[in-house]
C-alpha cells in the first residue's frame, strides 16, 4: 500500500510496502548480474542475465523483457503485461493500454529510448503518469543519470536504476550532475556513487519543497533544457495539479523560472479571477522589495507613510510591479508565492519579463482608474506608453524627495474625488481577496451580510456575532470557521465529501469518498458528510490524490462540528 510522505510539485517521497519489502522513493535500484555475491544483494533490485532483465521485489521476479523487443520508433506494439502488482509497458504505446487498478509499480521497459528525444520523453511520462494515477510508482529503467534525475523526478518518475551510469562508466564516460566528461578509464563505480548522491540530494530538496530550484540548477545540456521548456509549456495543468498553494522561500534565478507552475498559476489567477476594489480610483505603481511580504519591508513602510496621510488613502490602489509575478496588488502580498520569492536584481529586464509585466498591467488598466501614478523610477520605461501617468520617483524611490513627490501626487489626484469610508474599504478589499482565493461565487457567498474589522493584514470577517474567517498572513490566505465553511460548501467550492463515519481528528484519504478536483495542497477545504459540513481545515494533498490514495492525511482539520 502506497503512502506519500512529502511532495514538491510532481516529485514525491513515497513508501510502498510490497512482499515484505519497504520501498522508499525516489529510489535508485542496483543492477545485479549472476556473479554477484548473494549476501550483498538488496531486497529490491534489477536482475540481469544473458536473456533478459527482471525487477526483483522480495521473492517476486518480474521480467521486463518478453517476446518481441520492439523499439519506440517502430509501429510494432507490445501489449502490457502485469504480474503480482507490477505492470510492464513497452514503447510505443497505443494509448489504449489497460493498467490494472491494483498496480503498485508501472515499468516503462525501454525508457532508455526516450533519453535523447525531449518531446517524446515529456509526452510519454505525462501520459503514463496520468493513466496510472497517483497510487502507483513509475519506474523508468536505463533513463537516469546524475544530471537528469532531478528533472525526471520532477516530471513524476519515482524509481530509477544504475544501469546507464554503469554501462557508460565502463566505456570511460563520467556522469556528474553538471554533465558528461570523457575519460580513458573505467569510472562505473564513481558513476554509481554520483547518481546515488544525486538521488539523496533530490530527496532532500523534495522534503524542503524546493525541487524545482534543483531542477533549474541541473538542466544544462541542450536536451535537458529543451525537455524542461517543453514540460513547462505543454505540461502546466499536469504540474499545477500537484503544486501547493503555500510554501517557503524559493529563488527564481533563471529565465525558465518565469514559468514555474506556482508562478504561472499566480499570474493566471490574477488574469482570470482578480477584480480590484471598485472604489479604488487612483492606481499607484510601486517597486518590489527584497523583504517579503512587501508590506513588512522598510521601503514599503516608507511608501505607506507617504500614501496614508489622510482619508484620501482609501481611494488608492497600491500595486507592486515585479518579476516573475508581473503585478501584485497590495491586498494579495501575503499570498504565496508573492510572499516568498527571491530574484537577482540587476536593473535590467529580460524581454519575457517585459512582456509579462506589460500584459498584466494592460489588463489591470482596463478596470478604468481615474489617475495613474508611477513610483517605479527607471522601471517606468516598461509601462510609460501604456497610459497617461504621473512620475514621482527622483532617483531612489525611498528618498525624501521621492516620498514627498508621492505624497503630493496622491493628494492632488484625490482632490475633488468623493471619499470612501474605511468600513467599505475593508469590505471591498477582502472581497477582492476572497475572489482571488475562491472565485466569484464563493466570495459573494462569504461576503453576504458580512462585516470586516481589523487592520491589514489581520482582517476578520463577521456575520452578526459569528466569525466567518480571517486573513492570516502567517498562512498567506483566508482561513475559515465552520460558519464560513458552510458558505463555501453551499457555493460548491473546495469541498471534500467524507464517508459516513465518526472522524476523530484529521481526515485521512481512506475516508474521502469524493473531492473537488480543483483542491490543491494548502487550500482551505470544507469537509462534508451527506451534504452537512462536519469540519474545515487545510488540504494536505490535492483533490485527485484524496480520491486516488488510501493512506495519508487528506485534510488537516482546524474546526470540527460537535
| Among 264, 269, 282, 243, residue whose Cα is nearest residue 440 | 269
Number of C-alpha atoms within 13 angstroms, CB side, residue 178?
1
For cell 564516460, what's the residue?
173
Residue 347 confidence class, pLDDT cut points 50, 70, 90: confident
Burial class (CB in 10 A: 0-12, 13-18, 19+), 410: buried
Phi-psi region of 497 (alpha: psi -120 to 50; beta: other; left: phi over 0): beta
Q: What is the pLDDT of residue 95?
A: 83
Angle at 138 between CA 136 and CA 140, to 5 degrees: 165
pTM check: above 0.85? yes
Q: Using the predicted structure, report yes or no on whether residue 77 has a pLDDT greater than 90.
A: no
Q: Using the predicted structure, report yes or no on whether residue 63 has a pLDDT greater than 70.
A: yes
Q: Using the predicted structure, report yes or no on whether residue 446 has a pLDDT greater than 90.
A: yes
Q: State how beta strands 137-139 and 21-24 pair.
A: unpaired
Burial class (CB in 10 A: 0-12, 13-18, 19+), 504: exposed
Q: Using the predicted structure, report yes or no on whether residue 417 has a pLDDT greater than 70.
A: yes
C-alpha cell at 186: 573505467
Q: Using the predicted structure, report yes or no on whether residue 428 has a pLDDT greater than 80.
A: yes
CA–CA separation, 410 vs 520, rounded Å?
A: 40
pLDDT average, residue stretch 67-94: 84
Q: What is the pLDDT of residue 343?
A: 93
Say whether 550 sits in a helix, a strand or coil.
coil
Q: Specify whether the CB–CB gap between 187 and 172 falls below 8 A.
A: yes
Q: What is the pLDDT of residue 73?
A: 73
Q: Using the predicted structure, report yes or no on whether residue 268 has a pLDDT greater than 70.
A: yes
CA–CA separation, 554 vs 546, rounded Å?
A: 6
Q: Using the predicted structure, report yes or no on whether residue 69 has a pLDDT greater than 80.
A: no
Over the stretch 506-560, which tens digit does the pLDDT of each residue have? 999 999 999 999 999 999 999 999 999 999 999 999 999 999 999 999 999 999 9
Say whether 199 sits in a helix, a strand or coil.
helix
Q: Using the predicted structure, report yes or no on whether residue 329 has a pLDDT greater than 70.
A: yes
Q: Specify whether the CB–CB gap between 155 and 126 falls below 8 A.
A: yes
Q: Using the predicted structure, report yes or no on whether residue 39 has a pLDDT greater than 70.
A: no
Q: What is the pLDDT of residue 36?
A: 58
CA–CA separation, 124 vs 295, rounded Å?
A: 44
Domain boundaries, the chain: 2-238, 251-414, 438-560
Angle at 46 between CA 45 and CA 52, to 5 degrees: 155
CA–CA separation, 480 vs 536, rounded Å?
A: 7
Task: Indicate the helix (H) or strand (E) that contains 477.
Answer: strand 477-480
Q: Specify whether the CB–CB gap between 384 and 357 falls below 8 A.
A: no
Q: What is the pLDDT of residue 486?
A: 97
* pLDDT cut 90: percent of the chain above it: 90
CA–CA separation, 359 vs 267, rounded Å?
A: 10
Rg (CA), the chain: 27
Cβ within 8 Å of residue 66, ≥6 positions away: 52, 78, 81, 88
Residue 40 confidence class, pLDDT cut points 50, 70, 90: low
The H helix count followed by the E strand count for the chain is 15, 32
pLDDT average, residue stretch 9-35: 92
pLDDT average, residue stretch 475-486: 97
Distances (CA, A) of 113 to 109, 121, 377: 10, 9, 52
Number of C-alpha atoms within 13 angstroms, CB side, residue 544?
17
Residue 313 confidence class, pLDDT cut points 50, 70, 90: very high
Q: In which order are the strands placed within the sheet that holds 390-391?
A: 326-329, 316-322, 282-287, 371-374, 390-391
Which of 60-64, 65-69, 200-204, 343-347 has the largest mean confidence?
200-204
Distances (CA, A) of 450 to 52, 465, 473: 68, 10, 20
Q: Using the predicted structure, report yes or no on whether residue 265 has a pLDDT greater than 90.
A: yes
Strands (E), 140-216: 159-161, 173-176, 179-182
2-238 maps to CATH 1.10.760.10: no
| Among 84, 89, 91, residue whose Cα is nearest residue 107 | 89
pLDDT average, residue stretch 336-344: 95
Q: Using the predicted structure, report yes or no on whether residue 303 has a pLDDT greater than 80.
A: yes
Q: Using the predicted structure, report yes or no on whether residue 247 has a pLDDT greater than 90.
A: yes
Cβ within 8 Å of residue 368, ≥6 positions away: none
Asked if domains 251-414 and 438-560 share a fold, the reply is no
User: What is 251-414's CATH topology?
Assistant: Rossmann fold (3.40.50)
SS (H, E, C) 338-374: CCCEECCCCCCCCHHHHHHHHHHHHHHHCCCCCEEEE
Phi-psi region of 416 (alpha: psi -120 to 50; beta: other; left: phi over 0): left
Residue 51 confidence class, pLDDT cut points 50, 70, 90: confident
Q: What is the pLDDT of residue 75?
A: 75
211-218 vs 222-234: helix axis angle to the nearest 10?
140
Q: What is the pLDDT of residue 67?
A: 67
CA–CA separation, 509 vs 512, rounded Å?
A: 5
Which CATH homologous superfamily contains domain 438-560? PUA domain (2.30.130.10)
Angle at 224 between CA 173 and CA 47, to 5 degrees: 55
pLDDT average, residue stretch 349-364: 95
pLDDT average, residue stretch 313-322: 97
Residue 462 confidence class, pLDDT cut points 50, 70, 90: very high
Whole-number average pLDDT of the chain: 95
Amino acid at each position: 500500500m502506497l503512502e506519500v510522505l512529502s511532495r514538491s510539485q510532481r516529485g514525491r517521497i513515497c513508501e510502498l510496502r510490497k512482499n515484505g519489502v519497504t520501498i522508499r522513493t525516489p529510489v535508485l535500484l542496483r543492477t545485479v548480474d549472476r556473479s554477484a555475491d548473494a549476501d550483498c544483494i538488496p531486497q529490491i533490485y534489477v536482475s540481469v542475465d544473458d536473456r533478459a532483465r527482471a525487477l526483483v521485489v522480495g521473492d517476486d521476479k518480474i521480467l521486463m523483457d518478453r517476446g518481441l523487443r520492439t523499439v519506440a520508433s517502430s509501429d510494432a506494439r507490445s501489449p502490457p503485461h502485469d504480474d503480482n502488482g507490477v505492470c510492464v509497458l513497452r514503447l510505443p504505446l497505443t494509448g489504449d493500454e489497460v493498467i490494472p487498478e491494483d498496480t503498485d509499480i508501472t515499468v516503462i521497459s525501454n525508457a532508455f529510448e526516450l533519453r535523447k528525444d525531449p518531446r517524446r520523453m515529456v509526452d510519454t511520462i505525462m501520459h503514463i503518469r496520468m493513466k496510472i494515477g497517483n497510487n502507483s510508482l513509475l519506474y523508468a529503467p536505463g533513463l537516469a543519470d546524475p544530471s537528469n534525475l532531478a528533472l525526471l523526478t520532477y516530471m513524476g518518475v519515482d524509481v530509477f536504476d544504475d544501469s546507464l551510469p554503469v554501462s557508460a562508466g565502463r566505456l570511460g564516460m563520467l556522469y556528474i550532475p553538471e554533465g558528461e566528461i570523457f575519460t580513458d578509464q573505467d569510472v562505473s563505480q564513481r558513476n554509481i556513487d554520483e547518481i546515488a548522491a544525486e538521488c539523496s540530494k533530490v530527496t532532500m530538496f523534495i522534503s524542503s519543497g524546493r525541487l524545482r530550484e534543483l531542477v533549474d540548477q541541473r538542466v544544462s545540456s541542450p536536451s535537458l533544457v529543451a525537455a524542461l521548456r517543453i514540460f513547462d509549456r505543454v505540461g502546466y495543468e499536469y504540474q499545477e495539479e500537484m503544486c501547493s498553494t503555500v510554501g517557503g522561500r524559493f529563488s527564481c534565478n533563471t529565465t525558465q523560472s518565469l514559468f514555474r507552475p506556482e508562478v504561472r498559476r499566480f499570474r493566471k489567477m490574477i488574469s482570470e479571477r482578480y477584480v480590484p476594489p471598485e472604489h479604488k480610483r487612483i492606481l499607484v505603481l510601486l517597486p518590489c522589495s527584497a523583504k517579503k511580504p512587501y508590506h513588512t519591508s522598510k521601503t514599503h513602510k516608507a511608501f505607506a507613510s507617504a500614501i496614508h496621510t489622510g482619508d484620501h488613502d482609501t481611494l488608492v490602489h497600491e500595486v507592486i510591479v515585479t518579476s516573475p509575478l508581473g503585478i501584485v496588488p497590495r491586498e494579495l502580498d501575503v499570498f504565496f508565492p508573492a510572499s516568498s520569492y527571491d530574484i537577482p536584481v540587476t536593473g535590467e529586464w529580460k524581454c519575457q519579463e517585459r512582456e509579462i509585466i506589460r500584459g498584466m498591467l494592460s489588463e489591470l488598466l482596463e478596470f478604468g482608474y481615474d489617475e495613474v501614478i508611477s513610483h517605479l523610477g527607471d522601471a517606468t520605461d516598461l509601462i510609460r506608453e501604456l497610459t497617461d501617468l504621473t512620475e514621482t520617483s527622483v532617483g531612489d524611490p525611498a528618498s525624501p524627495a521621492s516620498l514627498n513627490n508621492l505624497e503630493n501626487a496622491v493628494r492632488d489626484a484625490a482632490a475633488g474625488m468623493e471619499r470612501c469610508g474605511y468600513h467599505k474599504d475593508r469590505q471591498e478589499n477582502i472581497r477582492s481577496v476572497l475572489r482571488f482565493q475562491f472565485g466569484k461565487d464563493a466570495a459573494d457567498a462569504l461576503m453576504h451580510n458580512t462585516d470586516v474589522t481589523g487592520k491589514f493584514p489581520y482582517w476578520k470577517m463577521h456575520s452578526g456575532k459569528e466569525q466567518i474567517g480571517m486573513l492570516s498572513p502567517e498562512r498567506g490566505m483566508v482561513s475559515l470557521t465552520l460558519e464560513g465553511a458552510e458558505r463555501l460548501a453551499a457555493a460548491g467550492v473546495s469541498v471534500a465529501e467524507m464517508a459516513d463515519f465518526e472522524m476523530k481528528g484529521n481526515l485521512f484519504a481512506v475516508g474521502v469518498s469524493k473531492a473537488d478536483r480543483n483542491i490543491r495542497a494548502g487550500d482551505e477545504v470544507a469537509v462534508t458528510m451527506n451534504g452537512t459540513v462536519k469540519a474545515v481545515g487545510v488540504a494536505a494533498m490535492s483533490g485527485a490524490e484524496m480520491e486516488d490514495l488510501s493512506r495519508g492525511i487528506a485534510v488537516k482539520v482546524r474546526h470540527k462540528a460537535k
